[in-house]
Amino acid sequence: MLPAVTATRYVTPLREGGSLPGLMEADDLGTYVVKWRAAGQGVGVLVAEVVCGELARALGLPVPALVTVDVAPELAVGEPDHEVQELLQRSAGRNLGLDYLPGALDFEAGADGVDPALAGRVLWFDALVGNVDRSWRNPNMLFWHGRLQLIDHGAALTFHHHWPGAPAAVARPYDATAHALIECAPDVPAADGALAPLVTRALLSDVLDQVPDEWLDEEGEQPSAVRTRYVDQLMARLEARENWLPGLVAAAAAGGGRRRRAPRGENRPSWLGPPPPEGVTQR
C-alpha cells in the first residue's frame, strides 16, 4: 500500500493544473500536491496516477513519491474561492498526494538535457499505458535538481473509463508525433529491450496492490477482480507490441517531422523589441 498521511493545512490551489490540484501540508511534515477524488473525471484519474506512477518507478523512471492524503473538510474553511472550497468539501476522505518538488522547473527550461536513452524509455512507457498527455503543448514533466521527473498520469489508461471498449485499446497504435520528447532522438528499440522483460504479471500485480480498495469499487465488483482486469489489460498491451512498437520506432526516427517551436524570437511582435538574452525567461 502507499504510505498514508493526514493533511494538516491547505496552502493554495495550483492553478496551472486543469483539475485544480491543491498544495497541502501533512502530519509527516511533508508538503504534497493533492489530486482530488471529486475532481473532473472522477476517481479513475487517481487510479491512473497510482498505476502509471508506480509502474514508471518500477521501471526506473523518475516519478515523485506518491502517498494517500486523508483530508478533513474543515481544512477548506479559509479558502476564498468557492469552486476550490466546494471541491475540497466533496473530496473529504482519501485523496492522492505527490511529493511536492520545491523549485522544480518547467520542462521547457531543460528540454535539451534529455538523452536519447531516457527519452526512449519515457516514450515506450507512454505508449504502453496510452498516455495522451505528454505533448509539447502540455509536457507534464518537471526538472528538479537537474533531473527529469514525470508527473500527471491521470489521462493515461483511457480504457478504464469504458471497459467494454478495452479490448480495442490493446493493439491501438500510439500517436507519438506531438510527444514532448519526440525531438530528443528517443532510442525506442533500446528501451523496448530493457523495459519489456521487466513488465511481468507479478510486477503489475504489485503495482495494482498499491491502489486503495475504495478507488476500485466499481458497481459492487470485488476490488481484486478489478485489479486483475487492469493486469490482464496491460499484459495484453505488452504482448501486442508488434501492433504499436514499429510505429513508435518510426515516429521516433522521424523526430516528429518538423520543429514544433518557432526559432527563438521568430514570432515576436516588433513592438516588444529584441528578444532577451538566451537563458532569460520572460513571464
Ligand X SMILES: Nc1ncnc2c1ncn2[C@@H]1O[C@H](COP(=O)(O)OP(=O)(O)OP(=O)(O)O)[C@@H](O)[C@H]1O
Q: By CB under 6 A, name the binding residues for ligand X.
A: 14, 16-19, 21, 33, 64, 98-101, 104, 138, 140, 151-152, 154
Q: Smallest gap, in angstroms, from Cβ of residue 192 to ligand X?
A: 27
**Nearest residue (CB) to ligand X, 70 versus 99:** 99
Residue nearest to ligand X (CB): 17
Q: Which residue(s) pair with 67 in the sheet?
A: 97
Residue nearest to Mg ion (CB): 152
Q: Smallest gap, in angstroms, from Cβ of residue 147 to ligand X?
A: 13
Residues with Cβ within 8 Å of 245's Cβ and at least 6 positions away in sequence, in order, are 127, 188, 192
Of 68, 95, 140, 149, the one binding Mg ion by CB under 5 A: 140
Q: Smallest gap, in angstroms, from Cβ of residue 166 to Mg ion?
A: 24
| 149 lies in the binding site for Mg ion (CB under 5 A) | no
**Nearest residue (CB) to Mg ion, 138 versus 210:** 138
Residues with Cβ within 8 Å of 212's Cβ and at least 6 positions away in sequence, in order, are 1, 2, 68, 94
Q: What is the DSSP string of 209-276?
A: HTS-GGGS--TT--HHHHHHHHHHHHHHHHHTHHHHHHHHHHHHHHTTSS-SSPPTTTT--GGG-SPP
Q: Smallest gap, in angstroms, from Cβ of residue 35 to ligand X?
A: 7
Residue 159 phi, psi (nearest 5): -60, -25
Positions 2 through 21 that interact with Mg ion (CB under 5 A): none
Of 152, 183, 187, 192, the one binding Mg ion by CB under 5 A: 152
Question: How far is the CA of 53 from the CAs of 29, 61, 111, 151, in angstroms?
Answer: 22, 9, 21, 8
Q: Smallest gap, in angstroms, from Cβ of residue 96 to ligand X?
A: 10
Tell me which residue has cell 512498437.
Answer: 245
Residues near Mg ion, by CB under 5 A: 140, 152
